[in-house]
Structure formats: C-alpha cells, structure tokens
Amino acid sequence: MSSNSEKPVPQAQLRVLQLKDGEHSNTTVYRLEKGWGLHFTLGPSLLGKKVHVFTNHPLSPDVAFDRGEYRELEWHLRSAARDDDTDVHVEIVCGMAGSFNFFFLYEGGGTILEPNGSGYFLVDPVLTVGAEKQPLPLDSIQCQTVLSKCMGKLSEWEARLQVAKESGYNMIHFTPVQGLGKSNSAYSIKDQLKLNPVYQSKGRKETLNDLGKIIQKMRNEWKILSICDIVLNHSANESPWLQAHPECAYNLVNAPHLRPAYLLDRALWHFTLEIIAGTWKAHGITQNDISREQLQRVGAVLNDCVIPKLKIEEFYILDVEKIVEEFRDKALDQGPNLSLFSPGLNLEIVQDPQYRRLQCGIDMELALKLFNREKNTVAQGEDRVVLCCAELRTQLMLLNRRAREVIDSHLKQAITCIIAGLEYFWLQDGGPKWKRVTKEDSISYQYFTHPGADTCLADDEALMDSKKAAFVMAHNGWVMNDDAMKNFAEPPSMVYLRRELIAWGDSVKLKYGQQPEDNPYLWKHMKEYVTETARIFHGVRLDNCHSTPIHVGEYVLDAARKIQPDLYVVAELFTCNEKTDNIFVNRFGISSLIREAMQAGDAHTLGATVHRYGGEPVGAFIQPPARPLTPCIAHAMLMDQTHDNPCPIKTRSVYDLLPNSALVSMSCCATGSTRGYDELVPYHVDVVKENRIFKSWSDASVDFACPSIGIKAGIIAGKKALNKLHQGLGAQGYNQVYVDQVDTNIISVTRHCYNTHKSVILVAHTAFQMPKKANETGHIPPLCVPGIVDEIILEARLVQKANGPVIEDKAFIAGLPDYVCEIRQHIQLKESDMVELSEEGERNLQVVDFSSFTPGSVIALKVSMNPSTTAAILQLRTALSQFGYRMRSYSGSRLTNKQGTDFRSIVQRMSLIDINRVLYRCDAEEKDDGKAFGAYEIPDKGPFVYCGLQGFISVLQDIRATNDLGHPLCENLRNGDWMPEYIAARLLVHPGTKELGKWFQQVFGFLQQIPRYLIPCYFDAIIYGAYTIILETIWSKMSEFVRTGSGFVKALALGSLQMCGQTKNAPLPALSPNLLAPKPPCCINAETGRKEQACATLAAGLPHFSHGIMRSWGRDTFIALPGLLLIPGRFQEARYIILAYAQCLRHGLIPNLLGGGTHARFNCRDAVWWWLQCIQEYCRIVPNGHTILKDLVSRLYPTDDSLAEEAGFCEQPLEDVIHEALQKHYQGQQFTERNAGHSIDENMRWEGFENCIGVDETTGFVFGGNVHNCGTWMDKMGSSEVSGNRGKPATPR
C-alpha cells in the first residue's frame, strides 16, 4: 500500500464501502450526492493483500468523463500505523452526476478483465430552476406527461403548457417531438433530427431551436424543467434514412436467421386475406365470425393446413442423400479410419448461416472419424463404404427427426400465441373486442415489413433471395416475461418464429451491433439525436428501456451528459426483477424509475406502494455524517397515471382520481401524472390513435364547450394544492414516511420532518369501485394525532353536480363537466366540514373524528408538538450537540451545550475501572456486586450480552443501519421507560459512576416527555453519542501506541476494558500497606462502612470465567496481561496484579486459581513462568519499570506451611520473591495440594493431588507433575465413566 503524505480534506457527508474478495455488486444500487466523499476500505478477506482499486470517476469535475478510462486510487492512512492495512482507505470526491464503475484486484489474484470485485455507484444530478438557479430536489419533482402530437401548433404551446404551470407541476415530460411515421404513434419516429412538421404554423418553419426557446422560458420564468423521450430501439417504417441505410434495421440480409419467421409471417398474412376473401368458408372460418368456436377452427386450420405447407423444418435440417454422397466419395478416397475410437464425440447439425432450405451441414471430418471404420464382416472397398454410408444415413435421419421435433414445438407455440392473441382481441373483457377480421384487425401481428405487393407465398419466398431482402425489416415490440438482458432479435432466440412478440407494426427494430464500427451510420445518427435532445431539454426518458442494448444506452447517454452534465434520466422498466432493474439503473445512471400507482388493485397495495418508494420511516434513527454506504432501491417517480395506463375512470372510478393522486403526492420521491388525468378525461388518451388536441389555459370561467380550461376544471384545483404540498415537503426535509391502512378504503400517510418535528398527515378515502352511496361517510375509526393540529392544509372532495350524458368533443381532449372538486385550504380544525376534534386524548395526542368524509375525499393536517414536548426535545438536542451531532433549535440556530452538563468532562474524571462498569460487565459480574442488577432482558428475546452500554450498542448498530424500527428493542422502548431507567439506575449505585448516572437520569427524563414513536431514535442518539465520547476517553487514557494506532488497534485495546474490572467476590489479596505510591485504589464498603481495596482483576473468560473463584487464573492472567494492560499503558493495574500474585507464592508457585489468596489452588506448573515473563516485560515496557523489583510484597504465606497472614505481617521486595520462586524450583518441591479430595476436584484421583517439581540438572529444563494430574494449560480432568476417561488428565478439547 502506498500512502499520500497530504491527507484528503474530509467531506461534510462521507460514505464508506468495505470491499470484499469476490463481491461483485453490479445488481446493487448505491446512491450518493455531488460533493459527498466515498471511501473504500478493506474487508477481512482482503487484509494482507496488495489491493489496487480503480474507478472511471474523473479526478475532478474539470476532467471529461470517459467510461473506458480508469484511474488507480491512492491509499491513505488514517493513523500513524503505517504497516496496518486495516486503517487504510481510498477516496473519491463525487464531483459529477452519473453512473460510475469501480473494480479492484490484488497481486496474484484477478485481472482487469476479471477483477476480484466490482460495482457501481450513482451520483444524483443537481437540478435547478429559475434565473437564480434554485435547487429542485429529486423528491420535490412533480412531472406531467403531455402527448406532444396533441399540442397543436408550436405557437400555441405556451397556452397549453400553462395548464401544467397553473396546476403546480415543476416538470413536463414530452413524448417525442420529432417527426412521426405514418401511424402517427407518439413513439414511431420517422426523422430523429427534425421537429415534427405538424407543429409548424402556416408560413413559418419552426425548428428544434424554436422549441428550445420555449423550454428555456419555462425553466427561467415558470420554474418548470422539461424532459423528452428518446427512442433508441426502433424507428418508423417510413424513416427515409432507413431506405438509404437498410443495414440499420434487422432484415433478411444481416439477420438471415429470421427468414423462416418471415415466411411464417407472410403465410399468416395470406391466411388473413383468404379469410376476408371467403376462401376458408368450407372449414367454417368466415370474416364476421369471432366466436370461441371460430378460434378453435382457426387453430386447427393453422396446425393442419397452413403451417405444414411451409415446410419450415427444411431451413433447419439436412439433405441426407447429398451429405451421404459427399461422405461416400471421401470415404473411398481416404480409406478406413484406423485411429482409436474417441468416446464423447457426437455428430450434430451445423446450421446453414444463410438459412436456406436443406442447406444445413455436418462436421464431415468428424463424420469420417466416426463412421468411416473397418468392417470385419465384409471385404474392403465399396462394400465397406456402403455399410458406412448406411450407418451415417441412419444417424442423419435421427438428427433430422430431432430437429423436426424442435421446430414442431416452436410452431405449436406459435399457434398457441396466435390463438391467445385472438382470444384477447375478440373475446376478453378489457380487450378491444373486434367485430370482424380485416387487414387492420388481422389474424396475427405482422412481424416484418414487406417491400412488394401481396401476391403469393412463392413470390414471398423468392423475395428472400432478391435485393429487396434488405428491406424486409423486423418490427420491434415486447415479449412478456422475457430476459431483458438478451436481445430477442438475435440468435439463438426463436421469438419471431414462436410468435411470442407483441409487435409494433409501425416501427422496425434497429440493429446496432456491439460497437460503432459495426454500424457507423446508425451509431452516429442516434448519438446526434440524443445529444440534440439533451441540448434542448433538461432530461430524457428512456422509452422501452428494458429492450435497449446496454452498450448503446451507455454510449448515447455518455454523449448526452457531455452536453447536459446534470442530465435527469428517467426510465420505464418492465423486467419483473429488481436485480435486473438495478443493472440498467447502474449502467445507464438512471435518476428515477417510473413506478405506477395504477398497478395497485386495492387500497392496501396502493399504500404499500407509497411506503416502498418513499423516504425513511417516521422516527428514523439519526445518522452520523460519516457512515457505511448501504444499498438502496432505485429512486422512483411514482405516477398516479402514466400515458400507457388505461383510463382510471374506467378501471376504478371517477371518485378515486383525487385520493389516488393525493396519496401519490405524499410519497417521498418524484411524482407524476399525465395530461388528462386532472381534467377527468373519461377515456384513454391513446399514444397511437389520439388526434385531438389539448385545451389551453384560461383564468376566466369557461364551460365544457370552450377550447380552454381553468382552475375549476376536473380536480385541477386539488392537484395544484397537492403539488404545492408535495414540493414543499420535499424541499423542507419531510423525508420520514408512515403509511397506515385505516380500513379497507381509507389510507393515512404521515410525512414527518426530523429537523422541526412537524408532521403532515393526509387521509384519503379511496374508491377503487364506483361507490354505491357516494354521499355517505360510513364508519371511520377516529384519527389519533400525535401533537397539536396547527391547521388543515387542505380538505377536498369530488362532487357530482349534474348527471348529464357524456358528450365527446371531436376537436379537443375534454374531461367530465359534471364533477367539481370542492376544496378549502389553510383553515382551522373548527372550521372543517369533514372532521371535528373529538376530545383531548392521552398526553401528546388529539383525537379527530370524521364527520363527513365521503368516497373521493382527502384531508391534510399540519401537526406540531405541544409546548412541553417541544421544550423536552430542545433539551435533548442541547445535550446531544456535545456529541458532534449538528443539532439546531426549531428556529434554525446552532445549539451549544450548557455549562455544567459537559458529558466529556464527566467521563474524563472517571477511571478505566469505572468505565468498565459503564460499558461492559456481563450478567454474572453485575450480579456479583449484589446491587440487584443483571443484564437487561427484553421479554421473550433474552438478555443482552453486556449490562453496560456495549450491550445496547451491539444491537443498535445493526438496527440503525437499516432503520429497523420494528426490532424488539425499539418496541420495548416505545412500550415503556424500563431500558433508560435501567441504564441510569445501575450507574447511580456506584460512587465512580454516580455522576454519569445522574447525567443519564436527567437526559432520560426529557426522553420520557416526547412521543413514544420518537424515543428509539433519540435513545440511540444518546447512547451512540455517549459511547463515542467514552471510547475517545478510553483511548486518551491509554498509551501512545493505542492513541495514535489504527482503528483495529483501538478496537483490540477495548479488550483491556472488557476483561479488566473490579468485582466484589473476586478481589486481589490486600497489598502491602507500605507500598510506595501510587497506592492501590480503595472504596467504602456500603455495608460495613470500612475502607476496602478496590483493585481490578482480569477475567479468564466471559461470561463463564468472570466471577468468584473462577475469575482469576494465574496462567490466563499472565498470558493476557502484556496485551491487556502493558501495551495499552495500564501500568498500575498491571503492577498491582503482579504484586498480588507474588504475595500468594507458595512452594515456588503462584496460584492457578487465585481465590482472593486465601482460597488459592497451587496445581499449575507453568503459571509462575508466565508471571516471571510478565515481570520482565513490565521492566522493559514501563518507564522506570525496574522499580517494581523493589516494591514491597506482603507475603500471605511466609512459609509454605503457614496460614494466611494479614497484609504487612511479612514483607519483602519483589526481587526476593522472584529469587525464592527460582530457588524452590532448583531445589525441587514435593507437596500434597491442600484440601485435596472431591471438594476441590471430584474427578481427580488421590495421586493427582501429589505434586513434584524441580529442575533437570542435565538439561536445565523444569519438570513436575505425574500421569494423574494436569498442571499445564491442558487442565481439563476427564469426567466420563462411559468413555473411561474419568480421572485422566489433559483430555483433548
């Protein structure tokens, strides 16, 4: 790893992504914003490897983006630990919008083409409106789609677009504005580089530049952005440039695999013509019969008569005799193949690349190897070859039979698809229900253009081999449930032959190839089309995105972003797979995916849709500015209706349009609608068939027959208020969302602002079916409002004023005139016609009853906290401000902590032993204190691992990352104050932590006064902030190695806090009263009032070896002591432990189990040597550490046989104790362990209690023990009678 001496400037917002070996996150969406920092760090699987990270994100915004140009990122160190790659990162400062790729590889691992890991990250565009370039957040977008072809002359556009402006939209989506094909479909573009000539006024020749002036005026004066469709997959049949460049479309020359499908397509067309001509009357098929019986007859005729005559299989099978003859000639020339037979080799049909009849082949060399063999039963020569040919013929016929079966299955599927299509068009509800067979309403979609007259099939087949074959072009379309990552027009796809394509007969599918060199004209033409669109508009909508070749989309969008760096890219995707969606989002840099509210079949599904595509949950956790980069769903543009959706008045009811739109407006994402929805147009404004034009805006009162509309038309007044509400919620940070299904038809949506803790609650009465009693409210549960209703932002309903017949306007797209949107805005609760205040509810609650809330009604309430809650939150934020949270008051001013409540100074005054109690202590340690505390336990979920803050942090850190407010911990917090009270109470009972306990008690007192739904987020902020300060304090009290060490070193250092603490029932023996300063810490025994020594001890393990006699083990203590105490700089704790064990020396040994000294066991032969090693390390590491050798040791056992003596009775320097330990070993010792028997080890034999230690004078090695005891680390005594190991030491673990 190389490091840069100049550290990067930290960013205001920082996201960190940990790299993992083998992880390719290409289907995961990561969203960032411009100006944010992104750090990549190494995960455990990459530690120790020399990792190289590359990205195509430019070094600065001044450098042009090139998708194929990567730069290696430089590693930076966050600490002084230069050899510690746990603390390194590479950094990207997000400087431009778009999609960017990263990959990494390590030496000895992957390659650039096959890296060890990869992924994408998206940087959102920054959209601005107005001459002053005011920001428009993505979540504030409200977009209206207009069918450009219905806008009339360009000179009239402003008046028609003013409808969107006055309705409160801030973005308009235009369908293609270029010249259209013969069908006049909005998406069948004839000339991608010219404005549709229908927009031109008489005597004028407007161009795209004239349209651009309107677009700029809308942005600068109206504060409305514009986006336009780009259609990359197809072009109109009549496109003049296709006649000059037929290679740009899939045709029978550049895609000969489509020849059989073309022949089938022509046969079906002739079949249609024959039905019209009456040719099939004898079979019961007539032009005017569209019954189910006719469907069956059509299927039978196709299967028995029409399709078999085509002999489609001949395009895929062999001319057997021709191939056998070729084989015969070569076999005679070559003679028999004498090589050994090679198993696993099989003869297969080699498809003719030109797809001609009976022109498929085989691998003749392989055939000669397999079939040109010796024949023992006949003589050599021609007779042998005849037998070989017969065997080959049999195999070829078998291959042909298999090929026929495959093709037959494809053709049967084709018939199935044809009949299914006819059933929809003829019979199904919701279908068009054709009346007769015509050229327009034919038996099946036409899949190909036909550059000639309709003569006969023979002429059609002959055309395939003529110059006109290049003009037989395949239509585009879509395939239900198809794999979006595969091109259905390329082999081996059989979609065209299987008739699975829902074809668009007015457009042909474009054939790009894999790179611009494959089709230079097409790539150049479409690049110019897209860049010209980006020059005029502020964004693009990718039509039919799921069928867009990814490499093509990348190419043209990269070019567009060079013109419009903050290009807003919207797309529709119908892949039916979120991971596949994410591939397109990542590769194209899609800003928002279109999602459809009309896909919801009921109110519950609609509510779930609003919830899924918008914001954080209400009461979401407060996230630090630097945090892990987490996956997200693609940003959405939720549409109340798209221009592809059927008319909602027909699929639902007219009363549902307002509540549906209201619920969409409450979603925390971009929203949208289509022109006609707000006007209550009672029919589908069809992108193909619609030729009428939209009405213009008028501020005057107008009637139905007028070519203009005003604020009273349809639900425009309601939509304007809803759009204003949606834009304000997005701009003002109301990014927390809660959706409640009140009953079957009523949904409540809450948008909450964390900064102000104000909420907007919208309730909508949906009407998915036409209500039987449109003027009745019915029973609606009351609304419990968490706070005070400041005002009713709006209340609106759709009311039928008349019941006249629907008059269809022949010239204009017009809505229903008999329905009126009644709306009132910014009124007080007491003025409402829909609701009334029932009573004051519980604390912090108001209860609102629905008095008149009929189907189609919506109401939006603005809610704030009551004064006591507001004051409590202000106190909480003041307390939190000292933790580094950028807290502000409700007025927006920066909060500072009041003097006397400084959390950091409180913690600084605490010892590390006190902090052990604050952060850690397992259940057994806590209970050992006898203060009636143990680990906190959530009912039915079990206790936490630690009693201290770490127990809560370990759970909270996972909850916080995903905002899992449904977690049992959050539920426990909402249900009561037990958890905060526990945290404060356990600290209050100990002198060393009492001050901190009071701080928590005070802060948690404020916490109790806020609404229950906010308690988890503030509780987490308090605990996380406190935890962060405590960790900083811990490290500040440790050695320079820890203070300046890596994050990994600091994390390891916390083990010192975990394992080292003071417990009541596992004390060190009292140290010498004459010990030089610093003296051991003391405390007052609350029960006796006496002063007692309060030294820390090391737990041998948590939780089982944490208390009582099982806590302090000599071997475990001194193996761990250098790492837990000496390296972190806790020299005094180490000193006291070394001296305490020295006091217990007996028989030249220190205790195995300390037992406070008076209950020690001396059955460990190696602990004394670990102890001696620690003394040596102490002298080496600690400044003036050698002075410990002069420290006085109060011998608990002055002699090996003496009883325990009081501290100070017999004292000697530590160096003398060391000498005695060495001397005793050299002299040798034999003793029986005290209290030998089952009371101290129920499984050991008596011989095991006999100890013998000494030194082998010939080798210098120490020895000790016997076969019946276990004096080393393998000290588990066997205990099983069944396995026969009872009383046998050192059983394997």
Structural contact between residues 718 and 657, judged by C-beta atoms closer than 8 angstroms: no
Q: What is the DSSP string of 1174-1225?
A: HHHHHHHHSTTGGGGGGSEEE-S-SSTTPPP--TTSSEEEHHHHHHHHHHHH
The percentage of residues in the chain with a pLDDT greater than 70, rounded to a whole number, is: 96
The whole-number average pLDDT for the span 1262-1270 is 83
pLDDT, one tens digit per residue, over 179-214 is 999 999 999 999 999 999 999 988 788 999 999 999
Among candidate residues 644, 740, 790, 849, the one labeled active-site is: 644
CA dihedral 673, 674, 675, 681 (to 10 degrees): -100
Query: Other CB atoms closer than 10 Å to residue 686's CB: what's the count?
Result: 15
Q: Which pLDDT band holds residue 5 (cuts at 50, 70, 90)?
A: very low
The pLDDT of 418-436, averaged and rounded, is 92
Rounded to a whole number of angstroms, the distance between the first and last alpha carbons of the chain is 40
Contact 500, 528 (CB under 8 A): no
Instruction: Say how many residues make up the chain.
Output: 1293
User: Which residue, 638, 593, 640, 859, is CA-closest to 750?
Assistant: 859
Structure tokens at 979: 């958890």
pLDDT at 1281: 80
Which residue would you say has higher pLDDT here, 383 or 894? 383
Cis peptide upstream of residue 1078 (ω within 30 degrees of 0) = yes
Distance CA 713, CA 158 (A): 19
Least confident of 21-30, 333-342, 1248-1257: 333-342
Task: Provide the residue type at 794 as one letter.
Answer: L
The CA–CA distances, whole Å, from 636 to 227, 592, 596, 661, 671 equal 16, 5, 10, 16, 8
CA distances from 611 to 576, 666, 668, 751, 765 (A): 19, 10, 9, 11, 17
pLDDT for 557 equals 98
Chain-centroid distance of CA 132 in Å reads 35
Name 1167's Cβ contacts closer than 8 Å, sequence gap at least 6: 1113, 1114, 1115, 1118, 1149, 1150, 1151, 1152
User: Residues 21, 191, 265, 543: which is the catalytic one?
Assistant: 543
Q: Which of the 8 DSSP states describes residue 809?
A: P
pLDDT in tens, 529-586: 999 999 999 999 999 998 999 999 999 999 999 999 999 999 988 888 899 999 999 9
- DSSP for 727-789 reads HHHHHTT--EEEEEE-SSSEEEEEEE-TTT--EEEEEEE--SS--SSTT-----PPEEESSEE
Q: What is the mean pLDDT of residues 513-529?
A: 97
For helices 157-166 and 716-731, give the axis angle rounded to 10 degrees: 70
pLDDT band at 900; cut points 50, 70, 90: very low
pLDDT in tens, 798-810: 999 888 777 788 8
Over 50: is that where the pLDDT of 284 sits?
yes
> pLDDT for 735-776, tens place per residue?
999 999 999 999 999 999 999 999 999 999 999 999 988 888
User: Mind listing the pLDDT tens digit for each residue in 36-77?
Assistant: 999 999 999 999 999 999 999 999 999 999 999 999 999 998
127 has a pLDDT exceeding 60: yes
The model's pLDDT over 623-662, given as tens digits with 9 standing for 90+, comes to 889 999 999 999 999 999 999 999 999 999 999 999 999 9
Catalytic residue list contains 265: no
Looking at 254-268, 910-924, 1250-1264, which range is the least confident one? Answer: 1250-1264
**Which range, 839-848, 1019-1028, 1085-1094, is most confident?**
1019-1028
The crossing angle, in degrees rounded to 10, of helices 1167-1181 and 1131-1143 is: 140
Token output for 986? 């356990």
Average pLDDT of the residues of the chain? 92
pLDDT computed for residue 1249 by the predictor:
87
SS3 929: coil
Identify whether the C-beta of residue 19 lies closer than 8 Å to the C-beta of residue 104.
yes
Closest CA relative to residue 169, chosen from 211, 120, 224, 209: 224
Q: Does residue 1103 have a cis bond before it (omega within 30 degrees)?
A: yes
Residues of the chain with pLDDT > 90, as a percent, come to 82
User: Where does the pLDDT of residue 1217 fall: very low under 50, low under 70, confident under 90, or very high at 90 and above?
Assistant: very high
Active site annotation includes 543: yes
441-445, 510-514, 772-776, 827-831, range with the lowest pLDDT: 772-776
Reported as a pLDDT band with limits 50, 70 and 90, residue 897 is low
Q: Which residues contact 340 (CB under 8 A, 6 or more apart)?
A: none
Mean pLDDT throughout 822-846?
A: 87
Residue predicted with more confidence, 941 or 1022: 1022
Confidence at residue 707, expressed as pLDDT on a 0 to 100 scale: 86
Give the DSSP letter of residue 638.
E
**pLDDT at residue 491, rounded to an integer:** 95
pLDDT band at 887, cuts 50/70/90? low
Q: Is the pLDDT of residue 7 over 70?
A: no
Give me the pLDDT at residue 703, please. Answer: 61
More confident residue, 839 or 141: 141
Tokens representing 834 are 């829909």
The model's pLDDT over 1105-1161, given as tens digits with 9 standing for 90+, comes to 999 999 999 999 999 999 999 999 999 999 999 999 999 999 999 999 999 999 999
pLDDT above 50: residue 8: no
Asked if the peptide bond before residue 492 counts as cis, ω within 30 degrees of 0, the response is: yes
Distance of alpha carbon 204 from alpha carbon 620, whole angstroms: 58
Q: Predicted confidence band at 704 (pLDDT cuts at 50, 70, 90)?
A: low
Tokens coding 89: 């990162």
Is 1225 an annotated catalytic residue?
no
Cβ neighbourhood burial of 141 (10 Å; 0-12, 13-18, 19+): buried
Residue 78 has pLDDT above 90, yes or no: no
